A and B are shown apart, each in its own frame.
Chain A
Amino acid sequence: MAAAGRARVLWMANPLAAIGRIFLSFLATVGRLSIFTGRSLSAVVTAPFYWRLCLQQMMTIGYYSLPVVGMTALFTGAVLALQIYLGSARFGAESAVPNIVVVGLTRELGPVLAGLMLGGRVGAAIAAELGTMKVTEQLDALITLQTNPFRYLVVPRLVAAAITTPILVLIADIIGVMGGYLVGIHRLDFNSAVYLKNTFDFLEVMDVTSGLVKAAIFGFLIALMGCYHGFNSKGGAQGVGRATTDAVVSSLILILISNYFVTEAFFSQ
């Protein structure tokens, strides 16, 4: 409380200095994150690689996230079909529903919504686990037992998230299209065969691959943010709580920002 009061007084006394401090603090964070990312990537390509831990993480991140991602995709596909029908009916283009549902899901909503759900579920779990390890000296114990925490903890999570997120998104795409299909034939009176034909005839390989590339990047960012904030947590339970919140917020923001740039990169091709 006293610190917050002091900060308010400093801000009022010299707003430029306060802005400068915020900017410097931002640059310092970017620097720390860059060093952390560099160390993590160099650990990915140097032995030993912990296969067993990587497979465990693939189960935790991928398999156990299937229900939440599947439910998200199912209802998103269903709602998308309804909304597109309402919009397209205004200019008599109702038949475009299957086409727009599949493109919208594979290129955008599948990877982004799965990424956001995983950011909440997986990013928080990683930050909380590693944060607790940090404040209970387990990270120090790892080092004294001659084990590099980047190779043992960070690399399996980064690799597992980057591999399993595209698989999850592929499944989400299929479930989402199914959600649209169910609404299309039961609620909007589409012919089943026509709906499926329109879906697959219109779909291009690039629609799916661009979504999967996005998913791999999102998975990497989620695990990176979880590990970074977990490794930098301090001060007991409150510190772990703050690290968890920061991991979720930063991974969601990075997903949305990187989504634009990746879309832009594919758009210009």
Chain B
Amino acid sequence: MTETSYPGPRLELVDVHKAFGPKVVLDGLNLSVAKGESVVIIGGSGTGKSVTLKCILGLLHPDSGQIRIDGEDTVGLRGAERERVLTKFGMLFQSAALFDSLTVWENVAFGLIEGAGMEREAARVIAIEKLAKVGLDEDIAEGDPAGLSGGMKKRVGLARAIATEPDIIFFDEPTTGLDPIMGDVINNLINECVQDLGATTLTITHDMSSARVIADRVAMLYGGKIIWAGGVDEIDECDNPFVDQFIHGREDGPFALEVT
């Protein structure tokens, strides 16, 4: 992990706009994540949660606004400058996004070998260590990711996300597609790994039980903006009708028109 002397938030989005043709996805998004904080963004499908993460990582370019990481505006960074910023990040993708052409340990060690330039043998030792941290045996290290179950893939993805000990970790729908027990295992693993690293995390999810376990703070994204943000313990007392409908999963409410 890299130390930074910047006293402000680790991650800050200021008035971020992003549209795809006539469809406006982010419409003046503001969000701030403090060092060591775990923020979960909740919201319906197609509200721009994934677009937000992709804009921060530079996979998509916002139309306007600022995305500050440790105080540095990263919008428009390319090439080596973008790669420098990305060394601060780890990410667990929704589908785990493991590389089919590599073995399990090579997937976990990828950022160490290709990103940090570490020798393969040294990286393999760390990969095995990280696999153990997420509860996976060394036996699967030489295997093919295609042979793993959904839960195991997520664990390997988590091991890959923490392998380089990043400052900021993103989790994209970490429990989607998993049974409730495996979902809980992943949530607890995320908490353990993040506490060990002292990392700042930003998670997007539909899964309220996951949000309650992972989050320090919850933010609700709707209409391209954060319409409510507060502590995870405040969410049940929240009087925002969108949040209320979402956390209780009711059909009736302000979201109703869009459901039909």
User: Which A residues are closer than 8 A to B by beta carbons?
Assistant: 132-133, 136-138, 140-148, 152
Q: Assess the A147–B97 pair: CB atoms within 8 A.
A: no
> Given the complex of chains A and B, what is the CA–CA distance between A67 and B111 in angstroms?
37
Given A143-B57, A143-B59, A143-B86: A137 touches B114 (CB 8 Å cut-off): no
Which of A140, A146, A148 has a CB less than 8 Å from the CB of B97? A140
B 92-114 to A, binary, CB cutoff 8 A, 1 in contact else 0: 01110111100000000011001
Which 3 residue pairs are nearest across A and B when measured between Cβ atoms?
A146-B115, A141-B97, A137-B97
List the B side residues contacting A136 at CB < 8 Å: 95, 97
Nearest-Cβ distance from residue B149 to partner chain A, whole angstroms: 16
B 47-64 to A, binary, CB cutoff 8 A, 1 in contact else 0: 000000010011100000
> Given the complex of chains A and B, what is the CA–CA distance between A152 and B111 in angstroms?
13
Which of B86, B94, B98, B100 has a CB less than 8 Å from the CB of A144? B86
List the B side residues contacting A148 at CB < 8 Å: 83
List the A side residues contacting B95 at CB < 8 Å: 136-137
List the A side residues contacting B99 at CB < 8 Å: 133, 138, 141-142
B 108-140 to A, binary, CB cutoff 8 A, 1 in contact else 0: 001100110000000000000000000000000
List the A side residues contacting B114 at CB < 8 Å: 145-147, 152
Nearest-Cβ distance from residue B205 to partner chain A, whole angstroms: 16
Nearest-Cβ distance from residue B104 to partner chain A, whole angstroms: 14
Interface of B: prevailing SS: mixed
List the A side residues contacting B94 at CB < 8 Å: 137
Nearest-Cβ distance from residue A233 to partner chain B, whole angstroms: 15
List the B side residues contacting A132 at CB < 8 Å: 100
> Given the complex of chains A and B, what is the CA–CA distance between A144 and B164 in angstroms?
12
Given A136-B97, A137-B97, A138-B97: A144 touches B91 (CB 8 Å cut-off): yes
User: Does B87 count as interface, using CB distance less than 8 angstroms?
Assistant: yes
Q: Assess the A145–B97 pair: CB atoms within 8 A.
A: no
Given A136-B97, A138-B97: A147 touches B59 (CB 8 Å cut-off): no
> Given the complex of chains A and B, what is the CA–CA distance between A142 and B83 in angstroms?
11
> Given the complex of chains A and B, what is the CA–CA distance between A133 and B101 in angstroms?
10
Q: Which of A133, A140, A145, A146 has the most CB of B within 10 A?
A: A145
> Given the complex of chains A and B, what is the CA–CA distance between A203 and B193 in angstroms?
69
List the A side residues contacting B98 at CB < 8 Å: 138, 141
Q: Assess the A145–B93 pair: CB atoms within 8 A.
A: no
Given A136-B97, A137-B95, A138-B99: A145 touches B110 (CB 8 Å cut-off): yes
List the B side residues contacting A133 at CB < 8 Å: 99-100
List the B side residues contacting A145 at CB < 8 Å: 86, 110-111, 114-115, 160
